[in-house]
Structure 1
Amino acid sequence: MNDTTQHETHDLVVSRDIPAPIEAAWKSWTEPDRVLRWWGPNGFTCTVAELDVRVGGTSLVCMSAPDWGFPALYSTWAYTLVDAPHRLEFIHNIADEHGATIDPATIGAAGIPRDVRHVITFESIGDDATRLTVTELGYIDPEQLALSKKGLEESLDKLVAIYV
């Protein structure tokens, strides 16, 4: 008898209107100097943004909050679709400083799933405005989903603030 457990999954969707043209909003996700300015929730600083934004490429990003006991939290973004300046799709994983995927449980984040599919869309809503929507798919832990949503919302608020 096959004893596989089916888990209900939940997706996270967060949108922000960026007061910038679509090309600038796109660069916020695809140029290292821009990602360094906003990636990570409040209290975190992005310390690494090694970006290889192309289908088959993988970016390595790191955020840290040493005062809170988080000296370095690395992630990879492995791109499956790059449609400039409208859509990015990548698979997110927790990683070590070399970009090797690690089990989130080893850093006390067992609720973060492996291989979280991300879809980022950019929609021009005026000459100097872009609607950015981030969708993260496949969470099974509602508590982690809520924490991830809060972190993403804070990160995107930091992105908006760059342009205000």
Structure 2
Amino acid sequence: MSNSQPTFDVHATRTFPVSVEAVFAAWTEGDLVKQWWGPLGFTCPMAEMDVRSGGVSVVAMRAPAEFGGAVMYNTWTYTKVDPPNRLEYDMRFSTPEGQPISPASAGIPGGVPDFVPHVVLFDRLDDHRSRVSVTESGYTAHDARAMSLAGLEECLDKLAVLLGTGSTANT
């Protein structure tokens, strides 16, 4: 008999009216990540990117004042980097210096694992359109999965603004 707990994945897909290279750059260049990372109303004061297999990026997200204005840090530890087609990384909550901390100590409700594997696929549709598909794995509660999906959708909304109008949600 297995003691493994069921897990739930998050999936989101968007189409953008720009090249796949432009979408890949938005996920890997700090100045661009800072313009869209975080749900609506949140800002990204820091995105130190080290995008290579084995590299670790440190990305910050500041809550709006009405939510206390706290800054939360994540690391993205890359397990696969295949420009401009694919990124795979494990997201962890961290200190500003990139030291891992538990989700609970970051104020995150239960159901979020200590690290969340991400797979981001970038597909060229034609010369002027591309699609990004994001999968996050390992959530152990439906509420945690729903919270992450809502945040991811809002990040993708902000990415759509950065990359121009005309993106569509395909979740």
**TM-score interval, normalised by the smaller of the two chains:** over 0.9
> Partners in 1 of 2:111 and 2:45 — Cα distance?
24
1:15 to 5, 8, 13: 13
1:79 alignment partner in structure 2:
78
1:152 corresponding residue in structure 2: 152
Q: What is the CA–CA distance in structure 2 between the aligned matches of 1:50 and 1:27, rounded to whole Å?
A: 14
1:51 equivalenced with 2:49 (yes/no) = yes
| Residues 113-137 of structure 1 deviation map (CA, whole Å, 9 limit, x = unaligned) | 1121100000011211110000001
Q: Which has the higher strand share?
A: 1
Aligned pairs for 1:63-74 within 5 A: 63-67=61-65, 68-74=67-73
Structure 1 position 66, deviation (Å): 4.1
TM-score, normalised by the number of residues in structure 1:
0.95
Q: 1:120-131 to 2 correspondence within 5 Å?
A: 120-131=120-131
- SS in structure 1 of the partner of residue 121 of structure 2: strand
Inter-partner Cα distance in structure 1 for 2:69 and 2:116: 21
Query: Aligned partners of 1:21, 1:4: CA distance in 2, in Å?
Result: 45
Q: Give the drift of 1:4.
A: 7.3
For residues 120 and 147 of structure 1, what CA distance do their matches in structure 2 show? 19
Q: What is the RMSD computed on CA atoms of the aligned residues?
A: 1.3
Q: TM-score, normalised by structure 2?
A: 0.91
List gaps (5 residues or longer) in structure 1: none
Give the length in aligned residue pairs.
162
1:30 corresponding residue in structure 2: 28
Aligned-residue offset at 1:47: 0.7
Does structure 1 retain, via aligned residues, the 8 Å contact 2:81–2:87? yes
Deviations along 1:49-70, one digit per CA (max 9) or x if unpaired, are: 0000000100000010141124
